[in-house]
Structure 1
Amino acid sequence: MTEAAPTLTKRSDPAPIAFDNSYARLPANFFTRIEPTPVTAPRLIKFNRPLAVEMGLDADALERDGAAIFSGNRLLPGSEPIAMAYAGHQFGQFVPQLGDGRAILLGEVVRPDGERRDIQLKGSGQTPWSRRGDGRAALGPVLREYIVSEAMHALGIPTTRALAAVTTGQPVYRETILPGAIFTRVAASHIRVGTFQYFAARGDTDSIRVLADHVIGRHYPELAGTDGRHLKLVDAVAERQARLIARWLGVGFIHGVMNTDNMAVSGETIDFGPCAFMDVYDPRTVFSSIDQMGRYAYGNQPLIGQWNIARFAETLLPLIHETPDEAVDLANDAVTRFMERFQEHWKTVIRAKLGLSEHEEDEDTDLIRAFLALLHAQKADFTLAFRRLSDAAADEGADEGADAAFAALLDDPLAAAPWLIRWRARALRDNRSPGERAAAMRSVNPAFIPRNHKVEEALAAATEDGDFSLFEALNGVLSRPYEDQPAFAAYATPPKPGEEVLQTFCGT
């Protein structure tokens, strides 16, 4: 007897999610209405209860019925599932039609604080934008996005969040057969630079204006109704992106696929595909298996951010000024300022990491460059170098033990002394006590990041053996990245030879 295909169910019980769907009220060409494809045997493997409570959701009901709800098998009242339209530059090549090929936006909620959030399923089945893809997700990439997005949140970096993960009971076919899963993502919105490019590629200025004003109302309400608001929107998005990328660099994060369809206009980190965190400091570091030319290397991310902002500005040219040449000149000014903004944000990030006060001295820039050059030349671990420097800051004099712990990270420990002498002399001219400086540095220099080898270890245990204990343990450690956790010291340790992760993969 043939097993019946799974079907969607709808409940009339009080909804655990109160939807209010502003994007679904936009014109029909912004999206396609599509329901998730049911799965055979969904199982809830992770539910982010604190996030659900923060959003004002019925956490008890979601935890109880999460397998059905977060698989898409059960549609809640008020949900208006849609797949969003967008285009994008992928590795510099423009693709005029991409869209949500394996993601479905269930709807939006308004949190108790008035902030609006999207709730989206990834891996929920085919859509009209799937481009011959299966619309599904494998368990490994779902767990990776859960781990990294929640770690980024704990690090204090704007990011999409993980609300839940379910297994589907169905395989997905990539290079091998893998267990299927669905990820539930929460975002300020899923509107991207590529969303604007979709309409620009079609010469649809009216839709660009509708989209721009929607973004202003949702993310930049201070601009609503102002003269020149669309040029101001370019400035505002550029400001958030410049700040975001500076903070990525501060924790050694490499996004991996900074395509324009992966840049959210809200200023959040979005789409954790082949992302990774740098171990040994090298600005040329690349992990993504598809980034053969290093376009999205660690040190290239600011330049790519500016490039993406230029593409965003191009879509708004008809709204910026009625005279094309004047519109280009105005937009170019905004794009040029991106790098100035980034440099200011990066300087703020790196000065805090080095324990330098707000009072800037002329030699600070050279001191910063010298430190990064030292890490690069000596092949030092990026995260541990700053954390051990934080320990060394606790003593105004040369703390031989703490200095030695920092120096031990270098290929040649003796190379540390000249820079440490300069740094201590500079620190003496600040008003903060050693204890205050060390505490401030520890609050911005994490002890724990999602070490790539630990992430891969957790994913392998889950996908190959059905063992989620390492996944749970890693999430727990990463939820407190700035705290010393002696019982979990192994999670702060760089990979040993043979443990290094040299490539990461998209999972599509």
Structure 2
Amino acid sequence: MTLNNLKFQTTYLSLDSEFYDMTDPTPLDDPYLISFNPKVAKLIDLDGDSGDDPHFVALLNGTFIPEGTRPFSMCYAGHQFGHYVPRLGDGRAINLGSINGWHLQTKGSGETRYSRTSDGRAAVPSSIREYLMSEAMHHLGIPTTRALGIIGSQTKILRNQIERGAIVMRMSPSWVRFGTFEYFYYFKEYDKLKSLTDYVITESYPHLQNDEDRYFKFFCEVVERTAKLIAQWQGLGFCHGVMNTDNMSIAGLTIDYGPYAMLDDYDYGFVCNKTDRIGRYSYGEQPNVSYWNLTMLAKALSPIIDKEKMQKKLDDYGNFIYPDAYIDIMCQKLGLVLRLDEDVELITELVGALQDAYVDYTLFFRTLSHYDGERMPLYDIAMNPVVIHNWLDLYDARLSKETPTQPERQNAMLNTNPKYVLKNYMLQEAITLAEHGNYSMVETLLHIASHPYDELPEFEHFANETPEEHKNICLSCSS
């Protein structure tokens, strides 16, 4: 399908007008293509060479409006760093509508009703980071939004310095957030709260539509999806950085890539957001924050769902839903097929050893995937190999109880533990080149992001430990 044949649906506009505001984009000056993602284009049946069509840049820039497009921005509230903000909304994002169940949204398209004091723009650095990382997460098996393309411009915007404006086109099965429910709860508009819940069930949980207890079961599935998502983040070593309730997807997706990071040396307390001075959203706190955010969602849903039933589900989240999901993820990373009671201790000891070993998290698990009893490769990558040695004694004992052969285990682990993840220093290199008109590194990282488990000899250096001078990069919300 060509760009001229695109036809959007705007089912969200069937809700009351308080849910959104009709918003026309403000085009950037002298826009140009930075990157187009043909793999994502397939999701909406768009031709793979559409990036060469001038209409593509115009589509992102808001000067080409396909059939059925009725641009709008969504209204929501949210708890930001634990404090409730009654009115947030899409301050720099404009929704075009949906195709094949994917809602297309341009981020950086100018002021909206919800921009507050912001200019509604996005800079090239943050746009490149979102474009690349959302794709990397998908290929790592993490539920996430996707990215179709990104454009730059000559429009100047002020952040920590003068930047150039950019727009990234994001796609998601849903853009509804925990904070969307909070908005209508705190304004005591319970009929609209119920309408929103019905809409979300139809869109993201259609198997519950005719269930008499659908509202409670919907909440239960949100809890379970969130538990699995956070467990996957922890297993991968992904730090979101801004886990406000307005950045939590009701569909269990990773959304809103602001200041984020993949762990370099393992650090349970790592904070990737300069704004987060107390470490509320540190890597190790993500499971606790997800629970807190779910309690805020439960409060918002309390006019239509029994509080005690929801609290019981929340108790289950902390007691076994999340812990079981995390243990399952870690057992897969360790190549363990059986689930034994001793696995909790094995994983707990591993986390402690990694904290003390000063070892690159991704490199450790990729090296462990080749483990055949020879320990020196693991010693070589750790600053403190003694703790790795002690843990390997436990691991060897545990492996002796497994049934798969060593090659079977190694193969399974190599398909579970990525060789390549996009670290902040890699992204910064791509950004620096892009700011000088060279987009080759963006394309290189997009390719690497699409093949995280493969052997790519020409990019072997990206699988190495993060250079010391680039470890633990901390970013701001405008980065």
Q: Shorter-chain TM-score: what band?
A: over 0.9
Judged with a 3 Å threshold, the aligned counterparts in structure 2 of structure 1 residues 383 and 181 are, in CA distance, closer, same or farther, namely: same
Match of 2:412 in 1: 440
Cα contact 1:16–1:61 (8 A) shared by 2:
no
AA of the residue aligned to 1:368: I
Q: Is the 8 A contact 1:89 1:260 kept in 2?
A: yes
The CA distance in 2 between the partners of 1:99 and 1:256, in whole Å, is: 19
Larger Cα-atom Rg: 1
Instruction: Say whether residues 1:407 and 2:392 are aligned partners.
Output: no
Structure 1 residues 229 and 99, CA, compared in 2 at 3 Å: closer, same or farther?
A: same
Paired amino acid for 1:356: L
Determine the structure 1 residue equivalent to 2:18.
Answer: 29
Which of 66, 78, 88 in structure 2 is aligned with 1:76? Answer: 66
Q: Which runs of 5+ in 2 are unaligned?
A: none
- Once residues 246 and 451 of structure 2 are traced to their aligned partners in structure 1, the CA distance between those partners, rounded to angstroms, is 31
Q: What residue number does 2:360 align with?
A: 381
Q: Give the 3 Å change call, closer, same or farther, for CA 363–125 of structure 1 in structure 2.
A: same
Q: Distance in 2 between matches of 1:20 and 1:338?
A: 36
Structure 2 counterpart of 1:89, from 79, 91, 95: 79
Partner Cα distance (1:99, 1:362) in 2: 46
Compute the TM-score of the two structures, normalised by the length of structure 1.
0.91
Separation in 2 of the partners of 1:445 and 1:33? 44
Of 310, 321, 345, 1:331 maps to 310
Q: Tell me by how many angstroms 1:59 deviates.
A: 4.2
The alignment status of 1:192 with 2:172, answered yes or no, reads no
Counterpart for residue 371 of structure 1: 350
Matched-pair contact (CA < 8 Å) for 2:3–2:46 = no
* Letter paired with 1:100: D
Q: Hey, what's the Cα distance between the residues in 2 that align with 1:15 and 1:31?
A: 27
Query: Offset at 1:505?
Result: 2.0
> Residue 119 of structure 1 is aligned with which of 95, 104, 129?
104
Q: Is the 8 A contact 1:161 1:185 kept in 2?
A: yes
Aligned ranges for residues 140-155 of structure 1 at < 5 Å? Answer: 140-155=125-140
Confirm or deny: 8 A CA contact 1:16 1:58 kept in the other structure.
Answer: no
Which residue of structure 2 lines up, in the alignment, with residue 507 of structure 1? Answer: 478
Letter in 1 for 2:91: G
Give, as a single letter, the amino acid of the residue that structure 2 aligns with 1:303: N
> Is residue 2:146 matched to residue 1:167?
no
Residue aligned with 1:185, SS: strand
Instruction: Quote the residue 2:142 is aligned against.
Output: 157
Match of 2:117 among 104, 118, 132: 132
1:62 CA displacement: 5.5
Question: Matches of 1:130 and 1:100 in 2, distance apart?
Answer: 7
What is the root-mean-square deviation in Å for CA atoms of aligned residues?
A: 1.5
Shift of 1:501: 4.2
The equivalent of 1:477 in structure 2 is 448
Provide the aligned length of Structure 1 versus Structure 2: 476
The match for 1:360 is 339
C-alpha deviation, 1:52, in angstroms: 0.8
**Is 1:48 paired with 2:37?**
yes
Mean CA deviation greater in 309-318 or 409-418: 409-418
Corresponding position of 2:295: 310
- Check conservation: 1:451, 1:491, Cα contact below 8 A: no
User: Shift of the alpha carbon at 1:70?
Assistant: 1.2
Q: Distance in 2 between matches of 1:297 and 1:313?
A: 23
Separation in structure 1 between the aligned mates of residue 149 and residue 50 of structure 2, nearest angstrom = 13
- Contact persistence 2:92–2:107 (CA under 8 A): yes
Residue by residue over 1:104-147, the C-alpha shift from the partner in whole angstroms, topping out at 9 and shown as x without a partner, is 0011112xxxxx11000000011111102111110000000011
Distance 1:122 1:241 in 2: 24
In 1, Cα distance between equivalents of 2:451 and 2:49: 25
The aligned counterpart of 1:4 is none
8 A contact 1:243–1:342 mirrored in 2 = yes
Cα distance, 1:362 vs structure 2 = 2.5
Contact 1:39 1:73 in 2 (8 A): no
2:439 matched to which residue of 1?
468
Matched, 1:104 2:94: yes
Q: Could you report, residue by residue, the CA deviation over 1:304-362 in whole angstroms, capped at 9, with x for unpaired residues?
A: 11111111111111111xxxxxx3212211222222211111011000101111x2223
Amino-acid identity (%)? 38
Aligned position for 2:391: 419
1:85, 1:99 within 8 Å by CA — same for their partners in 2? yes
Residue in 2 that maps onto 1:493: 464
- Specify the code of the residue in structure 1 equivalent to 2:177: R
- Counterpart among 423, 427, 435 of residue 451 in structure 1: 423
Deviation at 1:61, TM superposition (A): 4.5
SS at match of 2:445: helix
Match of 1:276 among 261, 278, 281: 261
Contact preservation (8 Å) 2:264, 2:471: no
Cα-to-partner distance string for 1:345-396 (whole Å, 9 max, x where unaligned): 1011000101111x2223221111111111111111111111111011xx3x
Q: Deviations over 1:74-127 (max 9, x none)?
A: 1111111110000000000000000111000011112xxxxx110000000111
